């Protein structure tokens, strides 16, 4: 495995992390896991230069997705909620190890034994043992020339465990105003759970919303605890974490990536920047559909959010200039 990194995006969902992930993956000196090698055929691992086999796996993944979407008749809603790209978040590796956090959205709103276990402090080292072994397997077939690139909001639940397994990790935490993030995330979860529920079923939609907010609550609690813990207040630890604001990323995507590379002393190249500009040109926002949502859909007001998430808001949106998520 490379001695640098990995570079890990581990903020809350719906914070621009997919855009940032795809931009960072444009670096020829990085390696992000493909959807096909996590969710279609993991064994045997194949090199990305094996174009024939890569195409076969890509076609298999596309056909499976099309069948699923046609089954529920909501192709546009699912694609708009979470656009598909060749790379995908490494949550799919943790899911293989049993950390299937998003499956709890299809359970009763009353806490299940599975949900309790996923959210409690039970040691999850085994899952990251598997995660690390899986990356080593991929690395054996298609070694990263410089660093691995990973991304999943699920890591925010297990940050200390993550760092025990990847002590050289460089963490990027993305942040967004919660009055936008929360309804956007609930709409995303509803889009995926709609495979099992009727869109007209308000009871099921309410249950899914409750469970989605419960997961966000837990992620926020873990992030705040991790960032305010004494051991992470030292200068060296601060250097290993960089906060990125959603608005800054949307306004200056390449500038934000440049700031990330400067912060972590990573190697920039003209080829990398050209690839990012090409990706942005080929993937304008809304290309795969528009994701619409509103705060009223989830039964919360801005005042509710200010009270419920005061610690998170104060830490990342009202902090001193040296700690703020702004890029200024």
User: What's the pLDDT tens digit per position in 33-91?
Assistant: 999 999 888 888 988 889 999 899 888 888 877 776 666 555 555 555 667 788 999 99
Nearest by Cα to 14 from 111, 80, 109 = 80
The more confident residue out of 219 and 82 is 219
Gap between the Cα atoms of 205 and 198, Å rounded: 9
Out of 76-90, 184-198, 269-283, least confident range: 76-90
**pLDDT band at residue 26 under the 50/70/90 scheme:** very high
Q: What is the pLDDT of residue 121?
A: 85
Number of domains in the chain: 1
For residues 242 and 34, the answer to whether their CB atoms sit within 8 Å is no
Residue 142, pLDDT > 90, answer no
For a pLDDT cut of 90, what percent of the chain falls above it? 56
* Bond before 6 cis per omega within 30 degrees: yes
The token pair at 300 is 């919360």
Which run of H or of E encompasses 7? strand 4-9
Q: What number is the average pLDDT over the span 27-33? A: 94
| Residue 104 falls inside a structural domain | yes
The answer as to whether 29 is a domain residue is yes
Edge to edge, what strands does the sheet with 170-175 contain?
30-31, 147-151, 4-9, 170-175, 241-245
- Asked if residue 328 is part of any domain, the answer here is no
What do you get for the CA distance between the two ends of the chain, in Å? Answer: 35
pLDDT band at residue 4, thresholds of 50, 70 and 90? confident
- Is 292 within a domain? yes
Cβ atoms of 125 and 97 within 8 Å: the answer is no
CA distances from 312 to 12, 74, 222 (A): 11, 34, 10
What is the Cα–Cα distance from 218 to 214, expressed in whole angstroms?
6
Q: Which of 297, 288, 128, 313 is nearest to 213 (CA)?
A: 297
Query: Domain containing 25 — which CATH number?
Result: 3.40.50.300
Q: Is residue 80 part of a domain?
A: yes
Q: What is the mean pLDDT of residues 4-30?
A: 95
Residue 148 resides in a domain: yes
Token couple for 270: 């003209």
pLDDT in tens, 100-119: 887 777 666 566 788 888 88
Q: What pLDDT shows up at residue 100?
A: 87
Confidence of residue 164 (pLDDT cuts 50, 70, 90): very high
Domain interval for residue 235: 4-316
State how beta strands 170-175 and 4-9 pair: parallel
Distance from CA of residue 306 to its chain's centroid?
Answer: 24
Residue 323 lies in a domain: no
Residues 251-257 have a mean pLDDT of 98
Give the least confident one: 86-90, 137-141, 214-218, 228-232.
228-232
The answer to whether residue 143 scores a pLDDT higher than 80 is no
Query: What are the phi and psi torsion angles at 320 (to 5°)?
Result: -70, 160
CA distances (Å), 155 to each of 22, 188, 194, 223, 270, in order?
18, 19, 25, 10, 31
Residue with tokens 């499976």: 64
Residue 135 has pLDDT above 90, yes or no: yes
Q: What percent of the chain has pLDDT over 70?
A: 82
Asked whether residue 39 is assigned to any structural domain, the reply reads yes
| Average pLDDT taken over every residue of the chain | 86
């Amino acid at each position: 495995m490379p001695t640098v990194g990995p570079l890990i995006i581990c903020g809350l969902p719906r914070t621009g992390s997919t855009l940032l992930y795809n931009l960072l993956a444009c670096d020829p000196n990085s390696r992000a896991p493909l959807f096909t090698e996590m969710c279609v055929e993991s064994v045997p691992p194949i090199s990305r230069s094996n174009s024939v086999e890569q195409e076969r796996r890509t076609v298999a993944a596309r056909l499976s997705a099309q069948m699923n979407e046609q089954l529920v008749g909501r192709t546009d809603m699912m694609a708009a909620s979470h656009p598909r790209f060749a790379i995908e978040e490494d949550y799919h590796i943790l899911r293989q190890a049993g950390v299937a956090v998003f499956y709890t959205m299809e359970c009763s709103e009353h806490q299940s034994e599975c949900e309790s276990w996923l959210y409690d402090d039970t040691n999850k080292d085994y899952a990251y043992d598997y995660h690390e072994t899986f990356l080593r397997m991929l690395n054996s077939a298609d070694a990263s020339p410089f660093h691995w690139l990973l991304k999943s909001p699920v890591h925010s639940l297990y940050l200390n465990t993550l760092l025990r397994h990847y002590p050289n990790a460089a963490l990027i935490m993305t942040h967004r105003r919660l009055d936008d993030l929360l309804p956007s995330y609930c709409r995303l979860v509803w889009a995926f759970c709609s495979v099992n529920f009727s869109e007209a079923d308000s009871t099921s939609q309410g249950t899914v919303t409750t469970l989605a907010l419960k997961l966000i609550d837990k992620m926020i609690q873990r992030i705040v605890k991790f960032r305010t813990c004494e051991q992470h207040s030292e200068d060296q630890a601060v250097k290993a974490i960089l906060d990125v604001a959603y608005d800054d990323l949307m306004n200056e995507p390449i500038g934000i990536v440049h700031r990330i590379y400067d912060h972590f002393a990573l190697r920039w190249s003209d080829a990398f920047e050209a690839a990012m500009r090409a990706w942005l040109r080929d993937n304008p926002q809304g290309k795969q559909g528009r994701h619409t949502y509103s705060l009223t859909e989830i039964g919360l007001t801005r005042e509710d959010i200010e009270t419920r998430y005061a610690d998170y808001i104060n830490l990342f949106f009202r902090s001193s200039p040296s700690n703020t998520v702004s890029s200024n």
